[in-house]
Amino acid sequence: MRPFEDYNPFVHLVYFVSCSAIVMFFLQPVTVVLSLLGALSLFFVRRRLAEGRSHLYSLALFLVMALLNPLFNHNGATVLLLINHNPITLEAVVYGIFAAAMLLAVLYWFRTFSQIMSSDKLLYLFGGVSPKLALILSMALRYVPLFAKQAKRVNDTQRAMGLYREENLIDNTRAGARVFSVMVTWGLENGIVTADSMSARGYGIGKRTQYTLYRFYRTDVLLLCTTLLLLSIVVVGGALGALDMQWYPTLRLPRTDALALVTYVAYALLSFLPTILEIGERARWNCLQSRI
């Protein structure tokens, strides 16, 4: 057993695409809850309780998305109240909550994906198919944290220079615009430097070889087969109607027959599979340490 991050990048790609695709194509309360819990458990197991402010932003996004749907979508037979002669229906409220939860689950899946998939792993995955696409993806993922760090550095520098003396909306807006202008210039300059560096090293002159340390081991094959097996069970169950859900005009509860329960269990195992691997590896490591 290995930590989930140490598995082959192709296994990571298949796993994250599977979890995200199921919850997006089968918008159903049970799958949404399982996907959100699985994504949050993996994120917190790997990152503990760090990045508290980002979780507040995610919660704010969830609330905004959940409130917007009943305000603009008035479908449904159960009217709760009227706002300016516009009905707020129970069906629209419930659909908005689960649609926002689905979006939040996908965001957390891809947040973990971006943390695990480094630039060399993206080059390993897409370098043989499209080297330019792999290079663009790796550079984009690399510049996101660099852009955030540089923006914080510029903002702290301007604050130290006394440019934030007046705490009001106009001053903050001007400061934000100033930081954004500096970051645009910084991004363009770094793009030119990167392009010149790649040109000096002969990129694009001819066919290039690819070197990688990533190989398929038995544990990679086992995890990939397990992921595909669970995905197949969920897809077959969804194709047979086990994940059907009626939102409008009236709500209908999800199915609870044998086929639906098997589908739910398969997706639950798929969602919590990396969390189980992480917890199992830590328990094994703690057991080995206790024997020393």
Tell me the CA distances in angstroms from 150 to 112, 135, 180, one per residue in order: 22, 22, 11
| Pairwise CA distance, residues 286 & 291, whole Å | 9
Note whether residue 85 is domain-resident. yes
Note whether residue 46 is domain-resident. yes
Q: Which residues of 104-117 are buried (b: 16+ CB within 10 A; e: fewer)?
A: bbbebbebbbeebb
Asked if 219 and 4 count as a contact pair (C-beta separation under 8 A), the reply is: no
Question: What is the model's pLDDT at position 52?
Answer: 54
Question: What is the model's pLDDT at position 128?
Answer: 67
| Pairwise CA distance, residues 242 & 57, whole Å | 34
Note whether residue 40 is domain-resident. yes
Question: What is the model's pLDDT at position 23?
Answer: 92
Question: What is the model's pLDDT at position 212?
Answer: 67
Question: What is the model's pLDDT at position 51?
Answer: 56
Question: What is the model's pLDDT at position 50?
Answer: 53
* pLDDT tens-digit profile, the chain (292 residues): 677 888 888 999 999 999 999 999 988 999 999 999 999 998 888 775 555 566 778 888 888 888 888 888 888 888 888 888 788 888 888 999 999 999 999 999 988 888 888 777 877 777 666 666 766 776 776 777 788 788 888 888 877 777 666 666 777 777 778 888 888 888 888 878 877 887 787 766 666 666 667 788 899 999 999 999 999 999 999 999 899 888 888 888 888 899 999 999 999 999 999 998 888 887 887 887 777 7
Note whether residue 165 is domain-resident. no
Question: What is the model's pLDDT at position 22?
Answer: 93
Question: What is the model's pLDDT at position 136?
Answer: 73
Question: What is the model's pLDDT at position 210?
Answer: 63
Question: Into how many domains does the chain fold?
Answer: 1
Note whether residue 243 is domain-resident. yes
Note whether residue 175 is domain-resident. no
Asked if 23 and 105 count as a contact pair (C-beta separation under 8 A), the reply is: yes
* Phi, psi angle pair for 82, to nearest 5°: -120, 135
| Pairwise CA distance, residues 112 & 13, whole Å | 11
Question: What is the model's pLDDT at position 31?
Answer: 93
Note whether residue 154 is domain-resident. no
Using one digit for the tens of pLDDT, what is the confidence trace for 51-77? 556 677 888 888 888 888 888 888 888
pTM of the model: 0.77
Question: What is the model's pLDDT at position 165?
Answer: 61
Note whether residue 158 is domain-resident. no
HEC string for the chain = CCCHHHCCHHHHHHHHHHHHHHHHHCCCHHHHHHHHHHHHHHHHHHHCCCCHHHHHHHHHHHHHHHHHHHHHCCCCCCEEEEECCEEEEHHHHHHHHHHHHHHHHHHHHHHHHHHHCCHHHHHHHHCCCCHHHHHHHHHHHHHHHHHHHHHHHHHHHHHHCCCCCCCCHHHHHHHHHHHHHHHHHHHHHHHHHHHHHHHHCCCCCCCCCCCCCCCCCHHHHHHHHHHHHHHHHHHHHHHCCCCCCECCCCCECCCCCHHHHHHHHHHHHHHHHHHHHHHHHHHHHHHHHHCC
Asked if 70 and 83 count as a contact pair (C-beta separation under 8 A), the reply is: no
- Provide the domain limits for residue 225: 4-129+216-290
